[in-house]
Amino acid sequence: MLDVQVDEFTLVLQTTKRPNYIEEWQGMAIKIIEEFVRLSKIEDVLGKLEDATQTLPQGYSNGFTCEGATYYFAIAYHVDFIQMGICIKFSAHAWMEYRKRYELLFGQSIQLHQFLANVNNNTIYTSRLSRIDIAIDFINEKVSVNTIYNQLSKKNQIVRTAYGRKNNSNLSGITQNNITSTFYLGTKGKNIKALLRVYDKKKEQLETMGNRYEEALQYESWVRFEASYKGAYAHDISNKLESTKTDTELKDLLVSALTDRYQFYYAKSDRLTTFSKKMLDLLNQKSFMFSSPSPRMNLLEQSQKHVLNGSGLFPYLYKVWTIWGDEGLKKCLAFLYEEFENYE
């Protein structure tokens, strides 16, 4: 099974009417944010906004995040630099939560093109993407990250653009015990406009107990091809999203954006690899539905909330502390850790 999705994205809003004086900018920025929040229904979907200082996108001075969020979402602006606009940053987890809760609240799914159409329905600001990460997942498809990396390293496979030009991006990998579970085509950096990351998504989720941990347990294998586009590349995708009306059109745009720069070929036969061909075959699908975020993804978060609020663990630890103090609490936690090691 192949799945296509927008992983994370950053949107920048620009005012349609510049203030006469810099002192007017902050009030104008707040009005733009209020309009964005109204059109996106952010507070209905993700919860009440609160001032944020420690978690703002780099370079921004003021902003907001959602109360009690377990994911990264931020709205930010700089009081002295109008040209920086207003930054709306969705992490992958935040966008997944937004889509899931939106569907529960309003009884219909929402994808990026619909979200942008909603928030652009105004006269006081314009918007465009400054970053977008596009993911194509190979689920139970017997694709090996280690094999692809080794083939690329040995020049048995090469990467080309859709126009046939060789993609000479730098190849680097993360290898442990002679097994590569992640590799990159391109170089990480502030001014880099394109980067492809190919990695074992199942391994990542299981090792980090990520927000899709329960989902990962259901799969035999899960490999992700994730292209990150910034600057002019993201702007181009943003422009094309304006005319995107259906899920099938969005799927075609996302798949094309990734495969236009990254197509894998066998060097000797000069033929597309099996996995690249499967990506391109997605363009032939005339009807397409994006997968909805599964309620299973929230099980770990729910378990954590239960431990903190409803399980009685913390009242128990409080009683230990009131009777035996800090030393007693430390011994109690050490005892629980020993018990956990024997837990099956």
pTM of the model: 0.81
C-beta separation of 193 from 232 below 8 A: yes
Q: Which residues pair with 245 in a beta bridge?
A: none
Closest CA to 183 of 210, 214, 143, 216: 143
Name the residue type at position 326.
D
**Ordered per-residue pLDDT tens for the chain, 344 residues:** 999 999 999 999 999 998 988 999 999 999 999 999 999 999 999 999 999 877 899 899 999 999 988 899 999 999 999 999 999 999 999 999 999 999 999 999 999 999 999 999 999 999 999 999 999 999 999 999 999 999 999 999 999 999 999 998 999 999 999 999 999 999 877 677 899 999 999 999 999 888 889 889 999 999 999 999 999 999 999 999 999 999 999 999 999 999 999 999 999 999 999 999 999 999 987 766 566 655 444 445 545 555 665 567 888 888 899 999 999 999 999 888 888 877 76
Helix (H, G, I), strand (E, B) or coil at 329: helix
Give the tokens for residue 43. Answer: 């507070």
pLDDT of residue 290: 65
Cα–Cα distances in Å, from 96 out to 5, 108, 131? 10, 14, 17
- DSSP code at position 16: S
Residue type, 47: G
On the CB side of 175, CA atoms within 13 Å amount to 12
AA identity, residue 165: R
Question: Distance from CA of residue 217 to its chain's centroid?
Answer: 20
Alpha helical stretches, state H, the chain: 25-40, 42-45, 92-106, 112-119, 145-153, 201-208, 213-217, 231-241, 247-259, 274-281, 299-309, 313-341
CB burial readout 247-256, b (16+ within 10 A) else e: beebbbbbbb
pLDDT (0 to 100) of residue 296: 43
How far apart are the C-alpha atoms of 237 and 226, rounded to whole Å?
15
Per-residue pLDDT, 297? 44
Q: Does the CA dihedral 258-155-281-214 come out positive or negative?
A: negative
**Which candidate, 267, 285, 275, 175, places its Cα nearest to that of 221?**
275
Phi-psi region of 217 (alpha: psi -120 to 50; beta: other; left: phi over 0): alpha
